[in-house]
Structure 1
Amino acid sequence: MTSTRTKPTVVPFTHTATGTGVAQRVTVGGDAGHVVDVDTHPAFGGQDAAPSPLSYVLAALSSCNQITASIVAGELGVALGAWSFEVGGDLDTAVLVSGADGNANFDSVRLVVRVQTDATPEQFDRLVAETERRCPVTQLFRRSGLVYESTWTATPLAG
């Protein structure tokens, strides 16, 4: 697969996959050779032997926010400690399972974040705003038209 990389700041992401039925093994491109197994719920024809693609998408939301916030925190000069996330998504399966007209996307996605930090309230507000603006996965959700809600809470940095 050829990259469409058009400028030096673009990082290409690739993977290859093989599968049978609804189960798939994905090998992520790059030197590390990460392998991810994917299956789905029995309601969708799977064995539930591995997370579903939708579970991975929601996991990507929390992990991408943590990575992005870590970058932003470094720029703001604030420290971050332990994180906790709760992520939920509501999926109407009528399009996926029955072929109904409409959008197969989640109807809504919720992200609840708690992070230890030494940021002032003003710095924390800036951290959250910049993280959500710059996080590629957050932007995928926000721009897809679903209802996106997030709640961020700062807790004291453990000493």
Structure 2
Amino acid sequence: MTSTIRTSVVPFVVEASGTGVAQHLVVEGTAGHEFDADAYPAFGGKDEAPSPLFYALGALTSCNQVTATLVAKDLGITLGKFSFRVQGDLDTTVLVTGAEGNSNFDTVTVEATVETDATGDAFGHFVSEVERRCPVTQLFVRSGVGFVNTWTRADLA
């Protein structure tokens, strides 16, 4: 039996090591990216690096911006500056005390503003395509978390 290799699949690999709740992470590849994660003192950490939960929310903003850039290119839309505010509301009772329930965020709210020449229906189509095509957005949406995604357009500077 012959296996088919899909050239469109790109592996993303991170290796990590640590003690307690602190980790040092290394991205596999030649770029040499490394980063650290820690937790709030209430969760046993020293708060010396961002929490993994902040990295998850930060990944959401970054992935949306990358995806928006790709979508805009496909749609012939010009983009300028972006700004994001993302809030994840987390009931910590499952995480901290072991209570029954879901340890996921209850709600994640994305507020994005982007400078663009797209208006009206074209802007609406752009936003829906970004949400559909963004891998990190889809991780949140498909997890069942309450996901609020609000994009506002601004005139290009």
Shorter-chain TM-score category? over 0.9
Cα deviation, residue 6, structure 1 = 4.6
Match status 1:11 vs 2:17: no
Deviates more, 1:144-153 or 1:120-129: 120-129
Report the equivalent of 2:53. Answer: 54
* Residue aligned with 1:96, SS: helix
The residue identity in structure 1 corresponding to 2:82 is W
Cα deviation, residue 123, structure 1 = 1.5
Extract unaligned runs of 5+ from structure 1: none
| TM, length-normalised to structure 2 | 0.95
Report the equivalent of 2:23. Answer: 24
Cα deviation, residue 148, structure 1 = 0.3
* Overall identity of the aligned pairs, in %: 58
| TM, length-normalised to structure 1 | 0.94
1:60-94 deviation line (CA, Å, top 9, x unaligned): 01110000010000011111000000000110111
Extract unaligned runs of 5+ from structure 2: none
Match status 1:45 vs 2:40: no
1:79-138 deviation line (CA, Å, top 9, x unaligned): 100000000011011111111111110000000000000112221111100000000010
The residue identity in structure 2 corresponding to 1:121 is G
The residue identity in structure 1 corresponding to 2:113 is R
* Residue aligned with 2:115, SS: strand
The number of aligned residues is 154
Structure 1 residues 1-159: aligned runs within 5 Å: 6-158=5-157
* Residue aligned with 1:65, SS: helix
The residue identity in structure 1 corresponding to 2:80 is G
Quote the Cα distance in structure 2 between the aligned partners of 1:41 and 1:34.
24
* Runs of at least 4 residues off by over 3 Å: none
Quote the Cα distance in structure 2 between the aligned partners of 1:152 and 1:15.
31
Quote the Cα distance in structure 1 between the aligned partners of 2:139 and 2:49.
24
Deviates more, 1:118-127 or 1:48-57: 118-127
